[in-house]
Amino acid sequence: MTDDLISKKELLDLTGISYGQLYRWKRKNLIPEEWFIRKSSYTGQETFFPKQQILLRIDKILHMKDGLSLDELADVFSPTLGDVEMSAKQLLERNIVSQISLDLLKEAGREQPLYALEQIMMLYVLDKLLMSGDITRQEGALLIDVMSEHYYRFTGKPSELMLIRKMGVPSFMLVTAGTEFYFDNGVKVVLRQSMGTFMEELKLKLG
Amino acid sequence: MEERNKRNDLNVAGISQTAGGNFHRVSIDGMAKVNGNLDCTSMEVNGTLKMHGALNSESATINGMCTLNGPLTSSRVRVDGLTTINGDIHSPDLEVNGKCTVRGRVDGERIDIGGVIDVDGDVQCESLNVQGNIKISGFLNAGTVEIRLHTSSSAKEIGGERIDIRRKEQQSGFWKSIGLGGTPSFKASLIEGDEIVLEDTEADIVRGSNIHIGRGCNIRLVEYSGELEVDQDAKVGSSQRI
Protein backbone atom coordinates (compact mmCIF):
# COMPACT_ATOMS: atom_id res chain seq x y z
CA MET A 1 0.00 0.00 0.00
CA THR A 2 2.70 2.48 0.95
CA ASP A 3 5.02 0.68 -1.44
CA ASP A 4 4.18 3.27 -4.04
CA LEU A 5 7.53 5.04 -4.42
CA ILE A 6 8.80 7.81 -6.63
CA SER A 7 12.45 8.31 -7.52
CA LYS A 8 14.17 11.59 -6.80
CA LYS A 9 14.60 12.31 -10.48
CA GLU A 10 10.91 11.77 -11.24
CA LEU A 11 9.96 13.88 -8.27
CA LEU A 12 12.02 16.88 -9.38
CA ASP A 13 10.70 16.45 -12.89
CA LEU A 14 7.11 16.34 -11.76
CA THR A 15 7.22 19.20 -9.27
CA GLY A 16 9.73 21.44 -11.00
CA ILE A 17 11.76 22.03 -7.85
CA SER A 18 15.55 21.97 -7.89
CA TYR A 19 18.03 19.80 -6.01
CA GLY A 20 18.91 22.86 -3.95
CA GLN A 21 15.33 23.39 -2.81
CA LEU A 22 14.86 19.73 -1.95
CA TYR A 23 18.01 19.65 0.16
CA ARG A 24 17.22 22.99 1.80
CA TRP A 25 13.81 21.68 2.85
CA LYS A 26 15.44 18.58 4.22
CA ARG A 27 17.83 20.71 6.27
CA LYS A 28 14.88 22.70 7.62
CA ASN A 29 13.13 19.42 8.55
CA LEU A 30 10.24 20.14 6.21
CA ILE A 31 10.80 16.71 4.70
CA PRO A 32 11.45 14.01 7.28
CA GLU A 33 14.68 12.02 7.08
CA GLU A 34 12.79 8.72 6.93
CA TRP A 35 11.14 9.68 3.64
CA PHE A 36 14.53 9.51 1.92
CA ILE A 37 14.62 5.82 1.08
CA ARG A 38 17.88 4.52 -0.37
CA LYS A 39 17.58 1.71 -2.84
CA SER A 40 19.97 0.25 -5.34
CA SER A 41 18.95 0.55 -8.96
CA TYR A 42 20.65 -0.24 -12.24
CA THR A 43 22.54 3.09 -12.16
CA GLY A 44 23.76 2.47 -8.64
CA GLN A 45 22.22 3.85 -5.46
CA GLU A 46 19.13 5.95 -5.87
CA THR A 47 16.86 7.78 -3.51
CA PHE A 48 13.13 7.16 -3.46
CA PHE A 49 10.25 8.80 -1.63
CA PRO A 50 6.78 7.66 -0.59
CA LYS A 51 4.89 9.08 -3.55
CA GLN A 52 1.61 10.24 -2.04
CA GLN A 53 3.17 11.80 1.02
CA ILE A 54 6.00 13.64 -0.68
CA LEU A 55 3.84 15.07 -3.48
CA LEU A 56 1.28 16.32 -0.99
CA ARG A 57 4.01 17.80 1.22
CA ILE A 58 5.78 19.59 -1.65
CA ASP A 59 2.49 20.96 -2.87
CA LYS A 60 1.84 22.35 0.59
CA ILE A 61 5.30 23.84 0.96
CA LEU A 62 5.02 25.53 -2.43
CA HIS A 63 1.61 26.97 -1.65
CA MET A 64 2.24 28.06 1.89
CA LYS A 65 5.79 29.34 1.70
CA ASP A 66 4.79 32.82 0.55
CA GLY A 67 3.08 33.56 3.85
CA LEU A 68 5.37 31.70 6.20
CA SER A 69 9.10 31.42 6.73
CA LEU A 70 10.73 28.01 6.36
CA ASP A 71 11.16 27.77 10.14
CA GLU A 72 7.48 28.47 10.71
CA LEU A 73 6.65 25.85 8.11
CA ALA A 74 8.84 23.35 9.94
CA ASP A 75 6.69 23.88 13.04
CA VAL A 76 3.54 23.19 11.05
CA PHE A 77 4.87 19.87 9.78
CA SER A 78 6.42 18.62 12.98
CA PRO A 79 4.23 15.94 14.57
CA THR A 80 5.10 17.12 18.08
CA LEU A 81 2.73 19.16 20.16
CA GLY A 82 3.46 22.75 21.05
CA ASP A 83 2.53 24.71 24.16
CA VAL A 84 -0.97 25.97 23.59
CA GLU A 85 -3.72 26.40 26.11
CA MET A 86 -7.13 27.73 25.26
CA SER A 87 -10.46 27.99 26.97
CA ALA A 88 -13.71 26.83 25.40
CA LYS A 89 -14.62 30.47 24.82
CA GLN A 90 -11.42 31.18 22.92
CA LEU A 91 -11.89 28.09 20.78
CA LEU A 92 -15.38 29.23 19.85
CA GLU A 93 -14.32 32.81 19.18
CA ARG A 94 -11.47 31.75 16.94
CA ASN A 95 -13.80 29.45 15.05
CA ILE A 96 -11.71 26.38 15.70
CA VAL A 97 -14.55 24.26 17.05
CA SER A 98 -18.31 24.71 17.24
CA GLN A 99 -20.64 24.58 20.24
CA ILE A 100 -21.91 21.11 19.22
CA SER A 101 -18.52 19.50 19.75
CA LEU A 102 -18.08 21.26 23.09
CA ASP A 103 -21.53 20.03 24.17
CA LEU A 104 -20.59 16.49 23.21
CA LEU A 105 -17.44 16.75 25.24
CA LYS A 106 -19.48 17.97 28.20
CA GLU A 107 -21.84 15.00 27.85
CA ALA A 108 -18.85 12.69 27.86
CA GLY A 109 -17.80 14.29 31.15
CA ARG A 110 -14.46 15.49 29.83
CA GLU A 111 -15.04 19.21 30.06
CA GLN A 112 -12.05 21.28 31.22
CA PRO A 113 -11.38 24.93 31.95
CA LEU A 114 -8.37 24.99 29.62
CA TYR A 115 -7.52 22.74 26.69
CA ALA A 116 -4.00 21.77 25.68
CA LEU A 117 -3.11 21.21 22.04
CA GLU A 118 -3.77 17.47 22.32
CA GLN A 119 -7.33 18.11 23.41
CA ILE A 120 -7.88 20.94 20.94
CA MET A 121 -6.78 18.50 18.28
CA MET A 122 -9.39 16.00 19.44
CA LEU A 123 -12.10 18.65 19.39
CA TYR A 124 -11.00 19.83 15.98
CA VAL A 125 -11.12 16.33 14.51
CA LEU A 126 -14.48 15.71 16.12
CA ASP A 127 -15.87 18.97 14.83
CA LYS A 128 -14.60 18.41 11.34
CA LEU A 129 -16.03 14.92 11.06
CA LEU A 130 -19.36 15.96 12.55
CA MET A 131 -19.71 18.96 10.27
CA SER A 132 -18.80 17.02 7.16
CA GLY A 133 -21.49 14.48 8.03
CA ASP A 134 -19.01 11.61 8.16
CA ILE A 135 -19.99 10.58 11.66
CA THR A 136 -23.05 10.79 13.89
CA ARG A 137 -23.21 12.39 17.33
CA GLN A 138 -23.16 8.94 18.88
CA GLU A 139 -20.02 8.07 17.01
CA GLY A 140 -18.61 11.41 18.13
CA ALA A 141 -18.84 10.20 21.72
CA LEU A 142 -16.83 7.11 20.75
CA LEU A 143 -14.25 9.30 19.06
CA ILE A 144 -13.85 11.37 22.22
CA ASP A 145 -13.20 8.19 24.17
CA VAL A 146 -10.59 6.73 21.87
CA MET A 147 -8.80 10.05 21.37
CA SER A 148 -8.63 11.01 25.04
CA GLU A 149 -7.59 7.55 26.14
CA HIS A 150 -5.04 6.71 23.51
CA TYR A 151 -3.89 9.65 21.39
CA TYR A 152 -0.99 10.48 23.70
CA ARG A 153 0.60 7.13 22.79
CA PHE A 154 1.27 8.48 19.31
CA THR A 155 3.02 11.67 20.45
CA GLY A 156 5.56 12.58 17.81
CA LYS A 157 4.67 9.60 15.64
CA PRO A 158 2.48 9.54 12.54
CA SER A 159 -0.89 7.96 13.20
CA GLU A 160 -4.21 7.39 11.47
CA LEU A 161 -7.77 7.49 12.63
CA MET A 162 -10.12 4.78 11.41
CA LEU A 163 -13.83 4.25 11.72
CA ILE A 164 -15.25 0.84 10.91
CA ARG A 165 -18.83 -0.39 11.01
CA LYS A 166 -20.15 -3.90 11.18
CA MET A 167 -23.90 -4.36 10.89
CA GLY A 168 -24.30 -0.71 11.75
CA VAL A 169 -22.21 -0.92 14.91
CA PRO A 170 -19.43 1.68 14.75
CA SER A 171 -15.96 1.42 16.21
CA PHE A 172 -13.03 3.85 16.19
CA MET A 173 -9.37 2.96 16.01
CA LEU A 174 -6.10 4.84 16.28
CA VAL A 175 -3.28 3.09 14.45
CA THR A 176 0.30 3.70 13.38
CA ALA A 177 0.35 5.27 9.94
CA GLY A 178 0.66 2.86 7.05
CA THR A 179 -0.34 -0.31 8.93
CA GLU A 180 -2.16 -2.97 6.93
CA PHE A 181 -5.51 -4.38 8.01
CA TYR A 182 -7.72 -7.24 7.04
CA PHE A 183 -11.29 -7.61 8.27
CA ASP A 184 -14.02 -10.14 7.75
CA ASN A 185 -16.57 -9.47 5.05
CA GLY A 186 -19.10 -7.78 7.28
CA VAL A 187 -16.78 -4.91 8.14
CA LYS A 188 -16.83 -1.65 6.25
CA VAL A 189 -14.09 0.96 6.63
CA VAL A 190 -16.06 4.19 6.77
CA LEU A 191 -13.21 6.57 7.31
CA ARG A 192 -9.44 6.48 7.39
CA GLN A 193 -7.51 9.68 7.78
CA SER A 194 -4.02 10.63 8.78
CA MET A 195 -3.83 12.56 12.02
CA GLY A 196 -0.87 14.49 10.64
CA THR A 197 -3.13 16.20 8.10
CA PHE A 198 -5.49 17.30 10.85
CA MET A 199 -2.56 18.53 12.92
CA GLU A 200 -1.17 20.58 10.02
CA GLU A 201 -4.55 22.20 9.41
CA LEU A 202 -5.02 22.92 13.08
CA LYS A 203 -1.55 24.40 13.53
CA LEU A 204 -2.17 26.75 10.62
CA LYS A 205 -5.42 27.82 12.22
CA LEU A 206 -3.80 28.38 15.59
CA GLY A 207 -0.66 30.02 14.25
CA MET B 1 17.94 26.37 35.91
CA GLU B 2 19.75 29.19 37.67
CA GLU B 3 21.27 31.96 35.63
CA ARG B 4 24.58 30.90 34.19
CA ASN B 5 26.50 34.00 35.26
CA LYS B 6 25.62 33.44 38.92
CA ARG B 7 27.34 30.09 38.93
CA ASN B 8 30.90 29.33 40.01
CA ASP B 9 33.83 29.12 37.66
CA LEU B 10 35.85 25.96 37.21
CA ASN B 11 39.58 26.43 36.82
CA VAL B 12 42.02 23.59 36.44
CA ALA B 13 45.66 24.58 36.46
CA GLY B 14 47.36 21.38 37.60
CA ILE B 15 46.16 17.85 37.30
CA SER B 16 42.66 17.25 38.46
CA GLN B 17 39.64 15.07 38.17
CA THR B 18 36.10 16.39 38.59
CA ALA B 19 32.57 15.11 38.30
CA GLY B 20 31.16 17.74 35.98
CA GLY B 21 28.17 19.90 36.74
CA ASN B 22 26.99 23.44 36.07
CA PHE B 23 29.51 26.29 35.88
CA HIS B 24 29.88 29.80 34.53
CA ARG B 25 33.35 29.78 32.97
CA VAL B 26 35.44 26.64 32.61
CA SER B 27 39.11 26.91 31.91
CA ILE B 28 41.46 23.95 31.66
CA ASP B 29 45.13 24.84 31.62
CA GLY B 30 46.61 21.64 32.96
CA MET B 31 45.31 18.14 32.64
CA ALA B 32 41.76 17.40 33.55
CA LYS B 33 39.39 14.51 33.53
CA VAL B 34 35.68 15.22 33.77
CA ASN B 35 33.45 12.28 34.64
CA GLY B 36 30.02 13.58 33.79
CA ASN B 37 28.11 16.25 31.91
CA LEU B 38 29.22 19.87 31.82
CA ASP B 39 26.94 22.84 31.32
CA CYS B 40 28.68 26.21 31.16
CA THR B 41 28.84 29.65 29.55
CA SER B 42 32.31 29.30 28.14
CA MET B 43 34.77 26.47 27.91
CA GLU B 44 38.42 26.97 27.18
CA VAL B 45 40.93 24.14 26.95
CA ASN B 46 44.61 24.97 26.75
CA GLY B 47 45.94 21.76 28.22
CA THR B 48 44.43 18.31 28.01
CA LEU B 49 40.87 17.41 28.71
CA LYS B 50 39.27 14.04 28.74
CA MET B 51 35.58 14.06 29.27
CA HIS B 52 32.95 11.35 29.72
CA GLY B 53 29.62 13.02 29.20
CA ALA B 54 27.87 15.72 27.23
CA LEU B 55 29.30 19.21 26.89
CA ASN B 56 26.80 22.04 26.64
CA SER B 57 28.42 25.45 26.46
CA GLU B 58 27.68 28.82 24.87
CA SER B 59 31.18 28.90 23.47
CA ALA B 60 33.92 26.32 23.34
CA THR B 61 37.55 26.97 22.42
CA ILE B 62 39.99 24.11 22.28
CA ASN B 63 43.65 24.92 21.92
CA GLY B 64 45.16 21.86 23.49
CA MET B 65 44.01 18.30 23.31
CA CYS B 66 40.51 17.19 24.00
CA THR B 67 38.67 13.90 23.93
CA LEU B 68 34.96 14.11 24.43
CA ASN B 69 32.91 10.97 24.96
CA GLY B 70 29.51 12.50 24.42
CA PRO B 71 27.72 15.07 22.30
CA LEU B 72 28.86 18.69 22.02
CA THR B 73 26.26 21.46 21.85
CA SER B 74 27.46 25.04 21.65
CA SER B 75 26.63 28.27 19.82
CA ARG B 76 30.29 28.69 18.89
CA VAL B 77 33.02 26.06 18.61
CA ARG B 78 36.60 26.75 17.69
CA VAL B 79 39.14 23.93 17.51
CA ASP B 80 42.76 24.98 17.16
CA GLY B 81 44.22 21.92 18.78
CA LEU B 82 43.49 18.26 18.53
CA THR B 83 39.98 17.12 19.29
CA THR B 84 38.14 13.83 19.15
CA ILE B 85 34.42 13.83 19.72
CA ASN B 86 32.73 10.48 20.20
CA GLY B 87 29.29 11.93 19.64
CA ASP B 88 27.42 14.52 17.58
CA ILE B 89 28.23 18.21 17.23
CA HIS B 90 25.44 20.79 17.19
CA SER B 91 26.81 24.26 16.63
CA PRO B 92 25.69 27.14 14.41
CA ASP B 93 29.29 28.28 14.14
CA LEU B 94 32.08 25.74 13.87
CA GLU B 95 35.66 26.61 13.02
CA VAL B 96 38.44 24.04 12.82
CA ASN B 97 42.04 25.09 12.35
CA GLY B 98 43.59 22.11 14.03
CA LYS B 99 42.39 18.56 13.70
CA CYS B 100 38.93 17.43 14.61
CA THR B 101 37.59 13.89 14.48
CA VAL B 102 33.86 13.41 14.93
CA ARG B 103 32.41 9.95 15.49
CA GLY B 104 28.89 11.16 14.92
CA ARG B 105 27.06 13.75 12.86
CA VAL B 106 27.60 17.50 12.55
CA ASP B 107 24.69 19.96 12.44
CA GLY B 108 25.55 23.59 11.94
CA GLU B 109 24.90 26.80 10.06
CA ARG B 110 28.37 27.97 9.15
CA ILE B 111 31.33 25.61 9.10
CA ASP B 112 34.85 26.82 8.37
CA ILE B 113 37.64 24.31 8.04
CA GLY B 114 41.21 25.53 7.84
CA GLY B 115 42.72 22.36 9.21
CA VAL B 116 41.58 18.79 9.11
CA ILE B 117 38.16 17.35 9.84
CA ASP B 118 37.09 13.75 9.73
CA VAL B 119 33.40 12.99 10.23
CA ASP B 120 31.89 9.51 10.50
CA GLY B 121 28.28 10.55 10.04
CA ASP B 122 26.36 13.14 8.02
CA VAL B 123 27.13 16.85 7.86
CA GLN B 124 24.31 19.35 7.54
CA CYS B 125 24.83 23.12 7.32
CA GLU B 126 24.07 26.26 5.34
CA SER B 127 27.61 27.04 4.28
CA LEU B 128 30.73 24.90 4.33
CA ASN B 129 34.03 26.51 3.57
CA VAL B 130 37.10 24.30 3.41
CA GLN B 131 40.72 25.39 3.02
CA GLY B 132 42.16 22.20 4.38
CA ASN B 133 41.43 18.54 4.44
CA ILE B 134 37.97 17.08 4.84
CA LYS B 135 36.70 13.53 5.01
CA ILE B 136 33.02 12.87 5.42
CA SER B 137 31.93 9.25 5.51
CA GLY B 138 28.26 10.18 5.32
CA PHE B 139 26.12 12.59 3.37
CA LEU B 140 26.99 16.27 3.11
CA ASN B 141 23.90 18.49 2.80
CA ALA B 142 24.77 22.18 2.56
CA GLY B 143 23.46 25.34 0.92
CA THR B 144 26.86 26.37 -0.37
CA VAL B 145 29.89 24.15 -0.44
CA GLU B 146 33.20 25.80 -1.21
CA ILE B 147 36.24 23.58 -1.11
CA ARG B 148 39.74 24.61 -2.08
CA LEU B 149 41.75 21.46 -2.49
CA HIS B 150 45.08 21.21 -0.73
CA THR B 151 45.23 17.48 -0.17
CA SER B 152 43.04 14.50 -0.93
CA SER B 153 39.55 14.99 0.51
CA SER B 154 36.34 13.04 0.19
CA ALA B 155 32.65 12.78 1.00
CA LYS B 156 30.30 9.91 0.32
CA GLU B 157 27.60 12.11 -1.22
CA ILE B 158 27.01 15.83 -1.59
CA GLY B 159 23.67 17.58 -2.05
CA GLY B 160 23.12 21.32 -2.08
CA GLU B 161 22.53 24.51 -4.00
CA ARG B 162 26.00 25.78 -4.95
CA ILE B 163 28.86 23.33 -4.96
CA ASP B 164 32.27 24.65 -5.83
CA ILE B 165 35.27 22.35 -5.55
CA ARG B 166 38.48 23.68 -7.02
CA ARG B 167 42.20 23.23 -6.85
CA LYS B 168 44.12 25.89 -4.94
CA GLU B 169 45.98 27.91 -7.57
CA GLN B 170 49.35 27.88 -5.85
CA GLN B 171 49.97 25.08 -3.41
CA SER B 172 50.58 27.00 -0.22
CA GLY B 173 53.77 26.57 1.74
CA PHE B 174 52.37 24.77 4.74
CA TRP B 175 50.57 21.86 3.10
CA LYS B 176 53.33 21.47 0.55
CA SER B 177 56.11 21.52 3.11
CA ILE B 178 54.59 18.85 5.31
CA GLY B 179 53.98 16.78 2.20
CA LEU B 180 51.12 14.92 3.82
CA GLY B 181 47.63 14.08 2.71
CA GLY B 182 48.41 13.24 -0.89
CA THR B 183 47.85 15.20 -4.09
CA PRO B 184 44.95 17.67 -4.26
CA SER B 185 41.89 15.67 -5.23
CA PHE B 186 38.32 15.09 -4.23
CA LYS B 187 36.34 11.87 -4.23
CA ALA B 188 32.58 11.39 -3.97
CA SER B 189 30.12 8.85 -5.29
CA LEU B 190 27.31 11.33 -5.96
CA ILE B 191 27.20 15.12 -6.29
CA GLU B 192 23.84 16.85 -6.73
CA GLY B 193 23.22 20.59 -6.79
CA ASP B 194 21.91 23.54 -8.78
CA GLU B 195 25.24 25.15 -9.64
CA ILE B 196 28.23 22.82 -9.70
CA VAL B 197 31.83 23.70 -10.44
CA LEU B 198 34.36 20.90 -10.12
CA GLU B 199 38.11 20.46 -10.54
CA ASP B 200 40.29 17.46 -9.73
CA THR B 201 37.22 15.52 -8.69
CA GLU B 202 36.50 11.88 -9.11
CA ALA B 203 32.80 11.02 -8.91
CA ASP B 204 30.41 8.37 -10.10
CA ILE B 205 27.41 10.60 -10.83
CA VAL B 206 27.08 14.40 -11.01
CA ARG B 207 23.58 15.83 -11.36
CA GLY B 208 22.37 19.41 -11.50
CA SER B 209 21.26 22.38 -13.59
CA ASN B 210 24.42 24.25 -14.55
CA ILE B 211 27.54 22.17 -14.37
CA HIS B 212 31.14 22.98 -15.07
CA ILE B 213 33.51 20.02 -15.13
CA GLY B 214 37.00 21.45 -14.91
CA ARG B 215 40.50 20.08 -15.35
CA GLY B 216 41.54 16.88 -13.69
CA CYS B 217 38.03 15.51 -13.23
CA ASN B 218 36.98 11.94 -13.81
CA ILE B 219 33.21 11.52 -13.82
CA ARG B 220 31.32 8.45 -14.97
CA LEU B 221 27.94 10.07 -15.64
CA VAL B 222 26.78 13.67 -15.78
CA GLU B 223 23.08 14.58 -15.88
CA TYR B 224 22.16 18.22 -16.37
CA SER B 225 19.10 20.31 -17.10
CA GLY B 226 20.73 23.67 -17.91
CA GLU B 227 24.22 24.04 -19.27
CA LEU B 228 27.20 21.74 -19.20
CA GLU B 229 30.79 22.77 -19.81
CA VAL B 230 33.52 20.19 -19.89
CA ASP B 231 37.19 21.15 -19.83
CA GLN B 232 39.41 19.37 -22.31
CA ASP B 233 41.54 18.07 -19.45
CA ALA B 234 38.54 16.33 -17.89
CA LYS B 235 37.22 12.83 -18.42
CA VAL B 236 33.45 12.35 -18.58
CA GLY B 237 32.11 8.87 -19.29
CA SER B 238 28.75 9.99 -20.57
CA SER B 239 26.54 13.04 -20.22
CA GLN B 240 22.81 13.31 -20.62
CA ARG B 241 20.43 16.24 -20.71
CA ILE B 242 17.34 15.67 -18.56
**Helix, strand, coil % over all residues of chain A, rounded to 5:** 50, 20, 30
| φ, ψ (nearest 5 deg) of residue A133 | 80, 10
Residues of A with Cβ-Cβ distance to B240 under 8 angstroms: none
What share of chain A has pLDDT > 70, as a percent? 94
Question: Beta strands B185-198 and B152-167: pairing type?
Answer: parallel
**Beta-bridge partner residues of B116:** B99, B133
Q: In angstroms, what separates the C-alpha of A1 from chain B's closest C-alpha?
A: 29
- Please spell the DSSP secondary structure of B55-98, one letter per residue: EEEEEEEE-SEEEEES-EEEEEEEE-SEEEESS-EEEEEEEESS
Q: What is the pLDDT of residues A1-54, one digit of tens each?
A: 446 889 888 898 889 899 999 999 998 888 888 888 888 777 667 888 988 888
A18 → chain B, closest CA residue: B194
* Stretches in chain B below the pLDDT threshold 50: none
Residue of A17, A23, A25, A47 best to disrupt the B interface, most CBs of B under 10 A: A23
pLDDT of residue B116: 92
Residues of A with Cβ-Cβ distance to B194 under 8 angstroms: 18-20
Residues of B with Cβ-Cβ distance to A18 under 8 angstroms: 161, 194, 209
- Core vs surface per residue B226-242: b (16+ CB within 10 A) or e: eebebeeebebeeeeee
Indicate the average pLDDT of chain A: 84
Complex ipTM more than 0.85, yes or no: no
Q: Is A94 on the interface with B (CB under 8 A)?
A: no
Which amino acid type is present at position B12? V
Q: Is A18 on the interface with B (CB under 8 A)?
A: yes
| φ, ψ (nearest 5 deg) of residue A45 | -70, 140
Q: What is the pLDDT of residues A161-198, one digit of tens each?
A: 999 999 989 999 999 887 888 999 999 998 888 888 88
Contacts of range B35-44, beta carbons closer than 8 Å, 24 or more positions apart: B37/B70, B40/B4, B40/B7, B40/B10, B41/B4, B41/B5, B43/B74
Q: In angstroms, what separates the C-alpha of A24 from chain B's closest C-alpha?
A: 7
What DSSP designation does B234 have? -
- Band (pLDDT 50/70/90 cuts) for residue A79 is low
- Core vs surface per residue B189-202: b (16+ CB within 10 A) or e: bbbbbbbbbbbbbb
